[in-house]
Structure 1
Amino acid sequence: MNRHASPLVQDGGEACWDLPAAPETASVARRLVREALATWNLSGLADDMAVVVSEVVTNAVVHAKSAMTLSLHRQGRSVRGEVADHSPVWPTPLPAGPNEEHGRGLAIVTAYSERWGVDPAPDGKIVWFVCEERPAS
């Protein structure tokens, strides 16, 4: 663990970290997710989960501008991820033209997760998503 991620819980089916609102947080979160999935023998989910986590964490850093909690909950061969931040403002899809640098994050979350949503929290919101391991082709 590095100074940007102090583990709260990490066991056979749950992992949870407090993360700062900092530019490097998305890369730290991707690494933490890959490590947890490898421990759970779910490395087949690593690429999709890393993409989704990167987008949701980046949104929290850029838009919520608050520290966050990243948690993973193993559910058999799928994993539910949650990013809780301290902003009550829910993410909304933005139109993105072909030359736009921003606005594709939620479309990417939709493409790489089975489902996702937002739940209110007492001090902000929780953006959640589920990735499922697909059978090998």
Structure 2
Amino acid sequence: MPPASVWGDENSCEVRWHLPADPVAVGKARQLVREALAGWSLSALAEDVAMVVSEVATNVVVHAKSSMTLSLRRCGRSVRGEVADRSPGWPTPLPAGPDEEHGRGLAIVAAYADRWGVDPASEGKIVWFVCGERGSS
């Protein structure tokens, strides 16, 4: 799937894809992340970014039930990711016991990202995160 848009130079570039509200889109998003980061010579970040994208995209499919836009922006040796959806509901951390099946997504995002947050959008919200190479963020 080619990106919906691409811009940049060797130190700063961005790609963006539009994905459906479908569980298959979560796996596709992970694949797109790995391909983009490999193309930017940032494969060392691929698993962290893919994990964060997987959790945020899953939240969109399960809770927002809307299509999403995945954006990745390279900033030197760091990547800023954004997942925008059309739902006005913001993600809320949930307590999760050892036997709980749900409730760990935002804790995983916090563990893998250097920082993350949520911003309002004209229609819905944008969950953003930044991952950098260890020692470079």
Tell me if TM exceeds 0.5. Answer: yes
Q: CA deviation at 1:11?
A: 4.0
The amino acid of 1:33's aligned partner reads: V
Q: Quick one: percent identity of the two aligned structures?
A: 72
Q: What TM-score comes out, normalization by structure 1 length?
A: 0.93
- Match among 1, 5, 8 for residue 4 of structure 2: 8
Q: CA deviation at 1:133?
A: 1.0
Partner of 1:63: 63
State the alpha-carbon separation in 1 of the partners of residues 124 and 84 from structure 2: 7
| Superposition CA RMSD, Å | 1.0
Q: How does 1:16-95 map to 2 (within 5 A)?
A: 16-95=16-95
Q: CA deviation at 1:23?
A: 1.0
Residues 3-24 of structure 1 deviation map (CA, whole Å, 9 limit, x = unaligned)? xxx5211344111000000011
Most deviating of 109-118 and 9-18: 9-18
State the alpha-carbon separation in 2 of the partners of residues 133 and 114 from structure 1: 10
The amino acid of 2:3's aligned partner reads: P
Runs ≥4 in structure 1, deviation > 2 angstroms? none
The amino acid of 2:127's aligned partner reads: V
Residues 43-75 of structure 1 deviation map (CA, whole Å, 9 limit, x = unaligned)? 000010010000000001100000000000111
Residues 83-116 of structure 1 deviation map (CA, whole Å, 9 limit, x = unaligned)? 0000011000001010001000000000000000
Most deviating of 106-115 and 12-21: 12-21
Question: Where do 5+ consecutive residues of structure 2 fail to align?
Answer: none
State the alpha-carbon separation in 2 of the partners of residues 116 and 87 from structure 1: 18
Question: Where do 5+ consecutive residues of structure 1 fail to align?
Answer: none
The amino acid of 1:52's aligned partner reads: V
| Number of aligned residues | 131
The amino acid of 1:16's aligned partner reads: R
Q: What TM-score comes out, normalization by structure 2 length?
A: 0.93
